[in-house]
Amino acid sequence: MAAVLAIDLTGRRAFVVGVADDGGFGFAIAKALAEAGASVCIGTWPPALNIFETLLRRGKLDESRRLTNGKLLEFERIYPIDAAYDTLDEVPQSVRESKRYQGRGDFSIDGVARRLVEDFGERPLDIVVHSLANGPEVHLPLVDTSRAGYLGALSVSAYSLVSMVRRWGPLMRPAGSFLSLTYLASERVIPGYGGGMSSAKAALESDTRTLAFEAGRRFGIRINTISAGPYASRAASVTGIIEDVIEYYARNAPLPEKLTPAEVANVAAFLCSPLASGITGATVYVDKGFHAMGRAVP
User: Measured between alpha carbons, how far is 296 from 8 in angstroms, rounded to an integer?
Assistant: 40
Residue (of 88, 98, 187, 199) closest to 143 by Cα position: 199
Catalytic site residue from 79, 159, 183, 231: 183
> Can you tell me the distance from the alpha carbon of 109 to that of 85, in angstroms, rounded to the nearest whole number?
6
Q: Does residue 231 carry a catalytic annotation?
A: no
d(CA 150, CA 134): 10
Closest CA to 228 of 194, 189, 258: 258
CB 287 within 8 A of CB 223: no
Non-local (6+) Cβ contacts of 1 within 8 A are: none
Active-site choice (79, 101, 193, 249): 193
Q: Collapse the DSSP code of 36 into the 3-class scheme (helix H, G, I; strand E, B; otherwise coil) and give the result.
A: coil
Distances (CA, A) of 62 to 40, 57, 67, 73: 16, 10, 10, 8
Write the DSSP assignment of 181-238 as a string of letters: EE-GGGTS--TT--TTHHHHHHHHHHHHHHHHHHHHHHH--EEEEEEEPP---TTGGG
For residue 178, what is the enclosing H or E element? strand 172-182
Does residue 150 carry a catalytic annotation? no
Cα distance between residue 272 and residue 127, in whole Å: 7
For the annotated catalytic residues, the residue numbers are 183, 193
